[in-house]
Amino acid sequence: MMPSYLGGIEAGGTKFVCAVSERESGEIILEERFPTTDPISTLAKAAGFFKDASSQGYIIEALGIGTFGPAGVNISQSNYGKILATPKQGWEGADFLGTFRKSFIDLPIAFDTDVNAAAIGEGSNGAAKGLDSYVYITIGTGIGGGAVINGQLIKGLLHPEIGHISVRREGGDEFAGVCPFHKDCIEGLASGTAINERWGISAEELREDHPAWKLEAKYLASLCQTLTATFSPERIILGGGVMQQEPLLEMIQQEFKTLTNGYWQTPKNYLVTPELGNQAGITGCLKLAASLS
Ligand code: ADP
Ligand code: ZN
């Protein structure tokens, strides 16, 4: 039997990752990364990648897209397949689905957020393998997340905006917060950008014993409490650049224990870091493509 192929696009705010995988093995055969510039040339470059692939004999049967948001991910709504009100210059209204439908007529296409795709990736082959209900969050330049409950990505009017959840302020913390919309939502208080603004030094340069980490752990534990109370997941995966600060995970686990005060009997590996690293997103995009046929 001839092998069949799937396509994935992880559309990040700074870079795009395009890949073709073999459907059966899941092995990535072609991959290209390039910077995100304006929508017309960036989407054309992505389409060009799959045209080149097809001229080499790798004709994809379905495409999965995971994009930075906010994005129209609900198939029943008119904004499906488009970027919504993003602060990213020039991208509001960018029509992913329309562009790829024009270039690849009849190709089945799945469209979702990058964090939802990463959640699917970790569920298929990473830290949430075998679980029906889990949440994936990323603490990077901003904070975002996706929730899979009973095997389904949560979607509604939009998609969850975990980074914009409000948390209780720690006593004595007078930092205004950096979210342009809400100031002191969790992204405003605890993203990499917030750490940088609050302490005047980037997260990767902060020493392990800096008080920044205790405060960071308290806020992220508080976010995990809210996620536990709302979604009742079996596990929460915490990824993104800020989690590369290794002692942070254990500090969050400790703060979570104190904060939740024995209310939930969560397993030992309830709060974990991802297993797929920077491949979670593209793996999930390819998985979304696989789910189409
Ligand atoms: P993005 O969110 O833009 O996709 P990342 O997930 O890599 O990118 O997150 C970038 C953020 O992570 C920056 O705020 C940076 O300061 C922080 N960061 C990067 N490396 C480390 C590290 N080793 N320790 C702590 N923070 C880090
Ligand atoms: Zn916000």
Which of 139, 204, 206, 216 for mutating ligand 1's site (highest number of atoms within 8 Å of CB)? 204
User: Is pLDDT of 230 > 70?
Assistant: yes
User: Is pLDDT of 1 > 80?
Assistant: no
The four Cα atoms 185, 82, 76, 17 give a dihedral, to 10 degrees, of -90
Looking at the structure, do residues 231 and 149 belong to the same domain, yes or no?
Answer: yes
Whether the CB-CB separation of 119 and 147 falls below 8 Å is answered with yes
Question: What's 170's DSSP letter?
Answer: P
Average pLDDT over residues 119-136: 97
Looking at the structure, do residues 175 and 70 belong to the same domain, yes or no?
Answer: no
- Amino acid occupying residue 152: Q
What pTM, to 2 d.p., does this model score?
Answer: 0.95
- For ligand 1, the distance from its centroid to the CA atom of residue 62, given in whole angstroms, is 32
User: Does any domain span residue 44?
Assistant: yes
Average pLDDT over residues 71-84: 95
User: Does any domain span residue 139?
Assistant: yes
Q: In what helix (H) or strand (E) does residue 271 lie, and over which residues does it extend? A: strand 271-272
Q: How far apart are CA 63 and CA 7, in angstroms?
A: 5
Going by DSSP bridges, is the β-strand pair 143-149/134-139 parallel, antiparallel, or unpaired?
Answer: antiparallel
In this structure, which ligand is nearest to the CA of 143?
Answer: 1
Looking at the structure, do residues 88 and 166 belong to the same domain, yes or no?
Answer: no
Among candidates 143, 149, 181, 176, which has minimal Cα distance to 161?
143
Structure tokens, 214: 């205790």
Average pLDDT over residues 241-251: 97
Average pLDDT over residues 160-181: 96
User: Does any domain span residue 40?
Assistant: yes
Residue nearest to atom 14 of ligand 1 (CA): 192
Looking at the structure, do residues 107 and 151 belong to the same domain, yes or no?
Answer: no
User: Does any domain span residue 110?
Assistant: yes
**What residue ranges line ligand 1, CB within 6 angstroms?**
12, 14, 138, 140-141, 192, 202-204, 240-242, 244-245
Average pLDDT for the chain: 96
| CA 44 to each of CA 36, 120, 238: distance values in angstroms, whole numbers, following the listed order | 11, 26, 33
User: Does any domain span residue 20?
Assistant: yes
Looking at the structure, do residues 167 and 97 belong to the same domain, yes or no?
Answer: no
- For ligand 2, the distance from its centroid to the CA atom of residue 108, given in whole angstroms, is 34
- For ligand 1, the distance from its centroid to the CA atom of residue 249, given in whole angstroms, is 15
Total number of domains in the chain: 2
Residue 67: phi and psi, rounded to 5, are: -120, 160
User: Does any domain span residue 122?
Assistant: no
User: Does any domain span residue 157?
Assistant: yes
Query: Which CATH number is 52's domain given?
Result: 3.30.420.40
Work out the percent of the chain whose per-residue pLDDT is above 70.
Answer: 100
pLDDT of residue 3: 77
User: Does any domain span residue 78?
Assistant: yes
In this structure, which ligand is nearest to the CA of 13?
Answer: 1
User: Is pLDDT of 11 > 70?
Assistant: yes
Average pLDDT over residues 268-282: 95
Looking at the structure, do residues 156 and 87 belong to the same domain, yes or no?
Answer: no
Looking at the structure, do residues 106 and 146 belong to the same domain, yes or no?
Answer: no
Looking at the structure, do residues 161 and 107 belong to the same domain, yes or no?
Answer: no
Looking at the structure, do residues 181 and 207 belong to the same domain, yes or no?
Answer: yes
Going by DSSP bridges, is the β-strand pair 60-67/28-35 parallel, antiparallel, or unpaired?
Answer: unpaired
DSSP lists the bridge partners of residue 235 as 134
- pLDDT per position as a tens digit, 42-59: 999 999 999 999 999 999
Q: Ligand 1, residue 242: give the atom nearest the CA.
A: 26
Looking at the structure, do residues 108 and 205 belong to the same domain, yes or no?
Answer: no
Whether the CB-CB separation of 15 and 68 falls below 8 Å is answered with no
Looking at the structure, do residues 112 and 137 belong to the same domain, yes or no?
Answer: no
Q: Model confidence at 264, in pLDDT bands (50, 70, 90)?
A: very high
User: Is pLDDT of 145 > 70?
Assistant: yes
Conformational region of residue 130, where left means phi above 0, alpha means psi within -120 to 50, and beta covers everything else? left
Q: What is the largest CA-CA distance in the chain?
A: 66
Looking at the structure, do residues 258 and 233 belong to the same domain, yes or no?
Answer: yes
Average pLDDT over residues 156-170: 95
Whether the CB-CB separation of 65 and 50 falls below 8 Å is answered with no
pLDDT of residue 2: 73
Residue with more model confidence, 165 or 1: 165
- For ligand 1, the distance from its centroid to the CA atom of residue 100, given in whole angstroms, is 31
Number of H-type helices and E-type strands within the chain: 8, 10
In this structure, which ligand is nearest to the CA of 10?
Answer: 1
- pLDDT per position as a tens digit, 193-220: 999 999 999 999 999 999 999 999 999 9
Structure tokens, 49: 């990648």
Question: Containing domain of residue 97, as a range?
Answer: 5-117+278-290
User: Is pLDDT of 293 > 80?
Assistant: no
- For ligand 2, the distance from its centroid to the CA atom of residue 134, given in whole angstroms, is 22
pLDDT of residue 224: 98
Residue nearest to atom 8 of ligand 1 (CA): 140
- For ligand 2, the distance from its centroid to the CA atom of residue 22, given in whole angstroms, is 39
